[in-house]
Amino acid sequence: MRTGDDVMAAVVGALFPVRCAGCGRPGGPVCAGCAAGLRPPPALAIPAELDGWVAAFAYEGVARELVARVKYRNERGALPWLADAMARALPSHPGPEAVVTWAPASSDRRRRSGFDHGELLARAVARRLRLRSARLLVRDAGPPQTGLGRAARGPGPRLRPAGAGARGATVVLVDDVVTTGATIGAAARALRHGGAVRVVAVTAAATPPRPR
Ligand SMILES: [Zn+2]
Distance CA 30, CA 66 (A): 8
Q: Which of 19-28, 55-64, 146-155, 172-181 has the lowest mean pLDDT?
A: 146-155
Distance from the alpha carbon of residue 64 to the mean position of ligand 1, in angstroms: 14
Q: How confident is the model at residue 113 (pLDDT cuts 50, 70, 90)?
A: confident
Query: pLDDT > 90: what percent of the chain?
Result: 65
Ligand 1 centroid from CA 201, angstroms:
28
DSSP letters along 94-143, please?
--TT-EEEE-PPPHHHHHHHSS-HHHHHHHHHHHHHT-EE---EEE-S--
Weakest mean pLDDT among 23-32, 106-115, 127-136: 106-115
pLDDT, tens digit, for every residue of 5-27? 777 766 666 666 788 999 999 88
Percent of the chain with pLDDT over 70: 87
Q: What is the predicted pLDDT for the residue at 126? A: 98
How many angstroms separate the alpha carbon of residue 31 from the centre of ligand 1?
4
Compute, in angstroms, the gap from residue 83 CA to the centroid of ligand 1.
18
CA 192 to chain centre: 19
> Are 94 and 200 a contacting pair, CB within 8 Å?
yes
Measured in Å, residue 39 CA sits from the centre of ligand 1 at 14
Centroid of ligand 1 to alpha carbon of 86 (angstroms): 20
User: How far is ligand 1, taken at its centre, from the CA of residue 43, in Å?
Assistant: 26
Q: Which among 120, 90, 89 has a CA at the least distance from the CA of 104?
A: 120
87 C-alpha to ligand 1 centroid (Å) = 22
Per the prediction, the chain carries an average pLDDT of 88
Kindly give the distance from the C-alpha atom of residue 34 to the centroid of ligand 1, in angstroms, as a whole number: 4
CA of 156 to the centre of ligand 1 (A): 35
Q: Report residue 103's pLDDT band, with 50, 70 and 90 as the boundaries.
A: very high
Q: Average pLDDT, stretch 170-194?
A: 95
